[in-house]
Amino acid sequence: MNNLSIERAALAEAGPVGAAIVRLSEASPGDRGAIVEVRADLAETDHGVDREELQRRLLEFGFVEGARIEVIHEGLFGHDPIAVRLDDMRVALRRRDADEVLFILDKPSA
């Protein structure tokens, strides 16, 4: 098991029972939840800026722990970029940048 798998397993144990923790880049339109972590060293993707700069930019946009998030749209080709509602604003970002944001999905309504 690699370090990322270990970290994701630890995060899953820390969340509520039955809750799924996913990368924002893996989410589909309609998925919503709360951000649990933003770390620019989670993925091996080249972002065009260094990892610390990417993490700073995401945090300045409001991608902070506890912020409410909902995926509202994705691009036609390659599903890139994605648009999210982040608390009370809308933000579009590339999937490779969204890969750095982990959030816990809300339980589906019964």
Instruction: In the chain, count H helices and then E strands.
Output: 3, 6
Backbone φ/ψ region at 23: left (φ over 0), alpha (ψ -120 to 50), beta: beta
Contact status, residue 79 vs residue 54, Cβ threshold 8 Å: no
Closest to 33 measured CA to CA, from 47, 22, 48, 18: 22
d(CA 27, CA 51): 22
Its pTM stands at 0.72
Closest to 97 measured CA to CA, from 109, 107, 110, 83: 83
pLDDT at position 71: 95
For the chain, 110 residues long, the average pLDDT of each consecutive 10-residue run is 44 57 92 90 60 87 94 88 94 90 79
